[in-house]
Amino acid sequence: MDHFRNIGLIGRLGSDRVVDTLQRLKRFLIDSGYTVILEDTVAGLLPGDDLQVCSRKMMGEICDLVIVVGGDGSLLGAARALCRYNVPVLGVNRGGLGFLTDISPDELEARVGEVLAGHYMSENRFLLDAFVRRDNEQLGTSEALNEVVLHPGKSARMIEFELYVDGQFVYSQKSDGLIVATPTGSTAYALSAGGPIMHPKLDAIVLVPMSPHTLSSRPIVVDAGSELKIVISNQSGIYPQISCDGQVHVACAPGDSITIRKKPQKLRLIHPLDHNFYAICRSKLGWSSRLTDQ
């Protein structure tokens, strides 16, 4: 069991509700005897106490636990920065759905207190690495916890591309793009595009076409150890983009290739002991409860 002493705080900017929750969390942790370290971008919002301030990268090196206050988007950004340091991450929901940030502010002190006392569950979530190449030269790279998306950018035209899995040709496609999602991302953009919900423990990747120009094109689930390669047609008249978690964007051109593979490092995600994936799906997606509860 982890022993938490130095605890980092990250919060979404531009929200008074996030600042209020960070203030409560900071005071609770200090009063409980923990060392609190603030991310430099939020330090100005939490004056007083003369706390240590550092970058997100440094936070990964010196913290025993990082608590993210915000929505799933806030945790996605933190995950990409912190996964390489193997520091556990806990999410407090101050956003929308909250698939990843599953502690409610109403239960803040009680739930965080349980985690700090050692009453928690830990799981590893894998990320994806994406590499964009042109004429064998690497143009850009990024990583994603949810999904890597090939999309037209500002253009309204379809993209023509070829898909390869482990060097084997799969298909040529003309569509609005392709979503390559982890199990974590299967309840996000991929779900809205018609992809399947995948349990977070699955070691698999789903490829979901976006409005394909054929009725026979369906989502494909492949082993997470597969290397995926997308080649944009030279005949394609548009310059599409690769987006990672909707937060990092890399411009592409006709003839470019995008290689996607599982990232070696994983995110350590912390949950309260009663965390239940199916209960979250029922709550967030409006699934029916038991007949006896209706």
Catalytic annotation, pick one of 16, 20, 64, 72: 72
The pLDDT, as a whole number, for residue 49 is 75
Considering the domain architecture, whether residues 251 and 214 belong to the same structural domain is answered as yes
Considering the domain architecture, whether residues 177 and 105 belong to the same structural domain is answered as no
The pLDDT, as a whole number, for residue 109 is 96
Domain boundary among 118, 135, 154: 118
Please answer whether residues 158 and 174 qualify as being in contact, where contact means their C-beta atoms are separated by less than 8 angstroms.
Answer: yes
CA pair distance 265, 80, nearest whole angstrom? 10
281 occurs within a structural domain: no
**257: alpha, beta or left, given left = phi > 0 and alpha = psi -120 to 50?**
beta
Please answer whether residues 104 and 41 qualify as being in contact, where contact means their C-beta atoms are separated by less than 8 angstroms.
Answer: no
Q: Is position 72 annotated as part of the catalytic site?
A: yes
- Which two tokens mark 293? 């509860």
283 occurs within a structural domain: no
**86: alpha, beta or left, given left = phi > 0 and alpha = psi -120 to 50?**
left
The pLDDT, as a whole number, for residue 156 is 79
The pLDDT, as a whole number, for residue 148 is 98
199 occurs within a structural domain: yes
- Which two tokens mark 58? 């440094």
Considering the domain architecture, whether residues 111 and 134 belong to the same structural domain is answered as no
First to last CA, the chain: 39
- Which two tokens mark 258? 């995008």
Considering the domain architecture, whether residues 90 and 155 belong to the same structural domain is answered as no
239 occurs within a structural domain: yes
Q: Is 165 exposed, middle or buried (0-12, 13-18, 19+ CB in 10 A)?
A: middle
The pLDDT, as a whole number, for residue 237 is 83
**Could you give the C-alpha distances from 264 to 57, 68, 135, 273, in angstroms and in order?**
18, 23, 26, 27
Structural domains counted in the chain: 2
Residue 163 belongs to domain with CATH number: 2.60.200.30
Beta-carbon neighbour count of residue 293 at 10 Å? 6
274 occurs within a structural domain: no
Considering the domain architecture, whether residues 162 and 252 belong to the same structural domain is answered as yes
Residue 253: φ, ψ to 5°: -140, 165
The pLDDT, as a whole number, for residue 126 is 98
Domain boundary among 118, 144, 172: 118
Considering the domain architecture, whether residues 107 and 157 belong to the same structural domain is answered as no
The pLDDT, as a whole number, for residue 1 is 56
Three-state DSSP at 250 gives strand
Q: Tens-of-pLDDT digits for all 294 residues of the chain? A: 568 999 999 999 888 999 999 999 999 999 999 999 999 999 988 877 789 999 999 999 999 999 999 999 999 999 999 999 999 999 999 977 788 998 999 999 999 999 999 999 999 999 999 999 999 899 999 999 999 999 998 877 899 999 999 999 999 999 999 999 999 999 999 999 999 999 999 999 999 999 998 888 899 999 999 999 999 999 878 899 999 999 999 999 999 999 999 999 999 999 999 999 999 999 889 898 777 665
Range of the domain at 40: 6-118
Considering the domain architecture, whether residues 23 and 139 belong to the same structural domain is answered as no
Considering the domain architecture, whether residues 176 and 229 belong to the same structural domain is answered as yes
Considering the domain architecture, whether residues 92 and 29 belong to the same structural domain is answered as yes
pTM of the model: 0.94
Residue 20 belongs to domain with CATH number: 3.40.50.10330
Token pair 């909707």: residue: 246
Cα angle 89, 57, 55 (rounded to 5 degrees) comes to 105
Q: Which residues contact 3 (CB under 8 A, 6 or more apart)?
A: 64
- Which two tokens mark 148? 């890597």
198 occurs within a structural domain: yes
